[in-house]
A = this chain, B = another copy of it.
Amino acid sequence: MNSRSHQDPTEPRADKAGIRRRNLSLVLRTVHDSGEITRAGVAARVGLTRAAVSSLVEQLLARGLLIESGKTFSGQAGRPGTVLRAARTGPAGLGVELNVDYVAVCVADLTGAARMRRTVPLDNRALAPVEVLRRAATVAARVLDEAAAADLRPIGVRLALPGLVSRGTVQHAPNLGWNRVDADTLFARALTAARPAGAPALPVGSDNEANVAALAELWFGDLAGIHTFLHVTGETGVGGAIVLDGELLRGAHGFAGEIGHLPVVPEGPRCRCGSHGCLERYAGLPALLRAAGAPGLDALVRRAEERDQRTLAALDQAGRMLGVALAGAVNLLDPQAVVLGGGYPRLFRWLAPAASAELADRVVSGLWNPARTRLRPATMTADAARGAAALVLREVLADPLAYGRD
């Protein structure tokens, strides 16, 4: 969102209507990214005149995409201005995270705030894809009712799925056992069936869960200036995503970031993906629970807190393997930080020492000093469902005219 080009002459067909659309987007994004800001502040940032900004702001207020409040900044020269914010009603995004053993649904408003959330345990491996998507749609339909009651109007749905996603199809999701599942179409159909007759159909898109979680961390996490990082989510699978200068690296086919299938032991045990010795076989939650003899994540955390030796050894070993794979990734990518998300933040204090030791030994630049906090847990409120919901709202930010009230 760094573009300041309001009259770029290199795009020859930039007619007046096109320039207005882009300037509306520029102003809305500036308010959105700032949280709250005066008209004068917007003008200073975008390089348009105050008069032009005021006119654009009026249009966005009229369309219900901005709100203003009487609050003023003290210490500013001149007549105190009212403060602008993105609207908390109106266009919203619906995010649906579909993982191996749960479905999480979130509605985010235009500020990015998670306004409704619902997480339902669901054994998605035991069910056919069409049934999984049907149940997820049922949860989503209930959340849509709540959103309507709060005067929020989701304009689309983004699914976040633990697998390789391209053009609306889950090509391969080994931990779900899905191959070539047309998730967008199946979910859209199920959502229409789950909603009252006559409810408008919502466009559905999908994305890789790890990608969406990384964007959520970038947008809503406590990264404090970090914009180039590797984000690793520990669930049944180990997902990964790479953010370079604030942009997701998607790769040539949209499949970048699959650190879970980085080989850590070439002749290691067979993985669901068909390969051998993948990181996931050592640091995925099922492998970790098995090594610790724990029935679930809660039990694992409790036993670790009680300093159970088998549990601590299993966490140390998983942290070590994570560190080996991360060292390879850090040598390749030279990121500012590595963020551990999914189930890892709850385990961070036991995984991090061994992982950091491997990183310190193996990162060739010598820059991986364990004393620096470059290995860090993800922010708990920056989850994939919220990220997916926020992704939907990027369309509103890009073209406000298409979405506001008429």
Contact of A122 with B by CB under 8 A: no
Complex Cα spacing A108 to B112, Å: 52
If over half of A's interface residues share one DSSP class (helix, strand or loop), that class is named, otherwise mixed; here it is: loop
Q: Which residues of B sit under 8 angstroms from A240, Cβ to Cβ?
A: 332
- Since A5-B10, A172-B366, A256-B334 are in contact, a sample of 4 more A-B pairs with Cβ atoms closer than 8 Å, ordered by chain A residue number, is A251-B333, A251-B335, A259-B332, A264-B266
Q: Which residue of B lies closest to A163 (CB)?
A: B364
A364 pairs with B172, CB closer than 8 A: yes
B331 pairs with A332, CB closer than 8 A: no
Contact of A15 with B by CB under 8 A: no
Q: Which residues of B sit under 8 angstroms from A260, Cβ to Cβ?
A: 364
Q: Which residues of B sit under 8 angstroms from A366, Cβ to Cβ?
A: 171-172
> Can you identify 10 A-B contacts, CB atoms within 8 angstroms?
A5-B10, A9-B9, A171-B365, A255-B364, A257-B332, A258-B334, A260-B364, A261-B331, A265-B265, A332-B332
Contact of A274 with B by CB under 8 A: yes
Q: Which residues of B sit under 8 angstroms from A12, Cβ to Cβ?
A: 47
Complex Cα spacing A240 to B329, Å: 13
Shortest C-beta distance, A68 to chain B (Å), equals 27
Nearest first, the 10 A-B pairs at minimum CB distance are A251-B334, A262-B328, A256-B334, A258-B331, A261-B364, A275-B362, A255-B365, A252-B336, A255-B334, A4-B10
B10 pairs with A9, CB closer than 8 A: no
Contact of A375 with B by CB under 8 A: no
Q: Which residues of B sit under 8 angstroms from A262, Cβ to Cβ?
A: 327-328, 331-332
Task: Name A266's contact: one of B244, B261, B324, B332 (CB within 8 Å).
Answer: B324
Question: Interface size bucket, A side?
Answer: 35 or more
Q: Which residues of B sit under 8 angstroms from A9, Cβ to Cβ?
A: 5-9
Task: Name A256's contact: one of B254, B263, B265, B333 (CB within 8 Å).
Answer: B333
Q: Which residues of B sit under 8 angstroms from A327, Cβ to Cβ?
A: 261-263, 275
Q: Which residue of B lies closest to A226 (CB)?
A: B252
Contact of A1 with B by CB under 8 A: no
Q: Which residues of B sit under 8 angstroms from A257, Cβ to Cβ?
A: 332, 334
B252 pairs with A335, CB closer than 8 A: yes
Shortest C-beta distance, A13 to chain B (Å), equals 12
What 1/0 mask marks residues of chain A from 146 to 186 whose CB sits below 8 Å from any chain B CB? Answer: 00000000000000000010000001101000000000000
Contact of A249 with B by CB under 8 A: yes
Contact of A16 with B by CB under 8 A: no
What 1/0 mask marks residues of chain A from 48 to 69 whose CB sits below 8 Å from any chain B CB? Answer: 0000000000000000000000
Identify which of A242, A263, A329 gathers the most chain B CB atoms within 10 Å of its CB: A263
Complex Cα spacing A120 to B405, Å: 73
Task: Name A251's contact: one of B4, B228, B321 (CB within 8 Å).
Answer: B228
Q: Which residues of B sit under 8 angstroms from A275, Cβ to Cβ?
A: 327, 361-362, 364
B249 pairs with A333, CB closer than 8 A: yes
Contact of A77 with B by CB under 8 A: no
Complex Cα spacing A365 to B171, Å: 8
Q: Which residues of B sit under 8 angstroms from A171, Cβ to Cβ?
A: 365-366
